[in-house]
Amino acid sequence: MSRRVLNRTLIARQFLAERSRRPAAQVVRHLVAMQAQEPNWPYVGLWSRIAGFGHAELTELYTDKDVVRGPLLRGTQHLAAAEDYAWIRPHFQPAPGTELRASYYAAETRGLDPAELAATGAELLADGQLARRELGRLLGERYPGRSGYVLAAAVQRMLPIVHPTPNGVWGGWGNRPSVPMALAPVWTGRAMDPARGVRELVERYLAAFGPASVADVQAWSGLKRLRAVIEAMPLRVLRDADGRDLYDLPDAELAAEDDPAPVRFLPAFDNAVLGHADRTRILPDEYRRRVLPGNSLVLPTFLVDGFIAGTWAVRPTGLRLTPFAPLSAETAEAVAAEAARLCTFTAPADPTVRDVEILTHG
């Protein structure tokens, strides 16, 4: 399979070739989980994927507890259907005895029984939600001389924690100063369901990101040692241009190299960018450092001909675009038009925030 076929297949399955007319709840479920490091970004991701998407559609899903935001894939903040969170989250529960080995927790939790700390956290959260700082304060009182902030982070690692509304809903750019924390079963009323297996997670991933290698599945999920699981599944086996085995659902459609690929804008941390170990199907190697500059950052990007062609940023007057190579007049016009539509989405009530600045590439 050529890189262009992989590219066109990815953007089609991500609803980036043609915006979907499905409800937001169905699109979120199709994508399995959407990166939500900062609350506004999933809204932008859905706007790029759903025809006529408006802010209220996702906000209502949050409010009705149909979707939740919390640590999930790779231990990072994700938006997922509450039903999916209930069975996916148990697969990311650290193995007993390994929960607090990371250096970040070790100094403050040395000598503590992880099970006891988790039980204390569950007790404090049993009746509802607490702000992270309040949970940390209470844990600091229970365990004098230790950092309550670190203990709260450890509890979040060990327990199925979600961040209730109003956290996560559309608002200012960046993270919010006070983060509420709640146990997922308490907040959503859904018990954790570890019975649904990793095979289902792989199938769901392939439907939205395939074809993919074992390394790709592991990079997206953060899970390890999946080769035996994947090779035992009734999957179609393909091969990329470098000779690597790629797995796919038996009846999944593959795109053609010449399928159209319109200009699309992706939010920061989007899993279309992060969903593979080999990201060259959407992110050319020569631009990798410009999209992932370090410090765990993944910048917002825009696609031209299906591939990342530049980054963008929100400014007080609109958007600033930084292309990585010269844009033809026709391409620049298409990029500016899509950016103008995005301006209307990011600042719907303020007609003064409509400026689109395209910098000289560099």
Alpha helices in 294-355 (DSSP H): 329-346
Residue type (1 letter), 221: S
pLDDT score recorded for residue 356:
92
String of DSSP letters for 30-93: HTS-EE-SSTTHHHHHHHTTBTT--HHHHHHHHHTTSEEEEE-GGGSEEEEEHHHHHHHGGGGS
Quick check: 187 and 162 in contact, CB under 8 A?
yes
Q: What does the pLDDT read at residue 131?
A: 93
Q: Measured on CA atoms in the order 117, 135, 166, 176, is the torsion positive or negative?
A: negative
A 10 A CB-CB count for 311 gives: 21
| Amino acid 61: pLDDT | 97
Q: Which two tokens stand for residue 199?
A: 């095979």
39-72 per-position pLDDT tens digit: 999 999 999 999 999 999 999 999 999 999 999 9
- Which pLDDT score, from 0 to 100, does residue 167 have? 87
Q: What is the pLDDT of residue 361?
A: 66
Task: List, for residues 325-355, the tens digit of each pLDDT value.
Answer: 999 999 999 999 999 999 999 998 888 889 9
What does DSSP say about strands 318-323 and 355-358: parallel, antiparallel, or unpaired? parallel
Cβ contact 150:104 at 8 Å:
yes
Dist CA 326 CA 340 (whole Å): 20
Spatial neighbors of 31 by CB under 8 A, at least 6 apart, are 14, 208, 271
Token code pair at residue 361: 């590439």
Residue 305 gets the label, from left (phi > 0), alpha (psi -120 to 50) or beta, of left
pLDDT of res. 362: 56
| Count of other CB atoms within 10 angstroms of residue 99 | 19
Half-sphere exposure of 89 (CA within 13 A, CB side): 29
The pLDDT score that the predictor gives to residue 1 is 93
Cα 158 to Cα 109: distance, rounded to the nearest angstrom:
13
45/48 Cα distance (integer angstroms): 5
Note the pLDDT of residue 353.
85
Which residue numbers in the chain have pLDDT < 50? none
